[in-house]
Structure 1
Amino acid sequence: MNLTLTVVEQKLVPFGDYEILAVKTNDGKIRAAVKWICKGIGLTDDQAKRQVKNIQTDLVVSRSVSNLTLNTNAGLRDVMCIELDFLPLWLAKISITPSMQETNPEAVENLVNYQLKAKDVLADAFLSKQQPTTAELIAMMAQQGVEQERRLNAVEEKQLQLETKQDNIAEIIALNPTEWRKKVTNLINKIALSRGGFEAYRNVRNESYQILEERGRCKLDIRLSNRRKEMALNGISKSKLDKVTKLDVIAEDARLTEIYLAIVKEMAIKHQIKVEGMGA
């Protein structure tokens, strides 16, 4: 049965002008963080990524690699670590090319230094020190517990927001056509406010009409003009004719009414509009 690795000691070990993140695990082995070593040598991001790939694909070195959850400056992170005994082997396989010597001589010097001394420095840092006390282990576990609780709280908060959003969508979809003109106006107002204010109301309304014309295969301007002509022939006054709107035209056609209400609901959902108090 394979042993589940846990960190019993973690430290930043000074090495030259940089530090190496290293750990001791419950199997008694010392492991070093690959990313920290690449950065300490002075490898570029592309060179570091290439080394990570090389480690993962190397028949021998890959056996020494473990991904451990470590407490870094950025919080708990999964960090690729290499066993100390395999560190010199990996470093020896990093080729010092003429191009590297010319363009990055400092990295070449650092690499040679790491190849010769890194293993011994890391070993001394851990083996010359007594095992952490019970109090130190408890403090480390407590810190990890606090970080884990923070993550869980963040997940729960995100889940609560998602459930609230889903409930709001359900309320919008459940709106029925009863007094639909008032509800549509309320939704259009809310959408306009989400876009910056009531000055956006006309644009939102026109957008809803444009979608209706495309989806319902109709021309609201023509229908509105025909409706006013018909009313004029029936002796309706001009003041009343001027008050007839496209919404009146939509209300006269059950099919268009159903399509338009669906369009406004979709727009409300897209803009995450809340509908508390609007009724069904």
Structure 2
Amino acid sequence: MTQLVFIENGRAVTDSLIVAEEFYKEHRNVLADIENQLKKLDEAGLEEWGVLNFQQTQYQHPQNKQWYPKFDMTEDAFAIVAMSYTTPEAMKMKVKFLEEFKRMRQQLQTAVVDTSQLSPILQLLIQQEQQQKAIIERQDATDKRVSVIQETILQRDDDWRDKLNGMLNGAARRSGGVFRDLRTRSYEMLESRAKCDLNRRLRNLHDRLRESGATKTKISETNRLDVIEADPKLKEIYTTIIKELSIGTLS
């Protein structure tokens, strides 16, 4: 039986893979649902809340051993994403998730040591230890987030990029156009088809890199193609668009 909720950094969370499995959805569709909610939170000025409750991380596919993105979600984040799942079966599953979140919260609470009967010195030592542990956990979470961001950018699929650039170059030559103009057009088509704002996503990515301590060179080199490649859904749609542009110039 799949464990619906688990403890991560002292919090009860679930993740997008578990949600996809239990709600019988494609993982990429759950990721799209999460991205959609994060976009709405961003537009509402609640980006910080989104960062606190949606933790982007990675998992290794058991077959091809490649790394792919996933999200850890708090109970509140899960509730926001799952509110659109309204079939009777989905309602039953949401109740199971929420009951499991409640059980995990109780488990965390009972794990807290009662220090009221200890001497003042021991209470102080325990308090200091807990504070130090909290600092380490926060730092670990920050390091993990930074690592995920940097790995997502550094692990570029050069073959994919070379293939797309080759198709765009060929399309530009056949149509008598300019490669840069065709690239811009491809981005506009992606934004229209995927209902996304690449420039906003790029600004957010630059901000996260800046917060993580990335160099100015690394930040300046990061572009909209990095944003696309980091999102499996956008990458798939964009690949289709490039193929369409290439085929369209063959006639």
Q: TM class, shorter-chain normalised?
A: 0.3 to 0.5
Larger Rg, first or second structure (1 or 2): 1
TM-score, scaled to structure 2: 0.36
TM-score, scaled to structure 1: 0.33
Structure with more of its chain in helix, by fraction: 2
Structure with more of its chain in strand, by fraction: 1
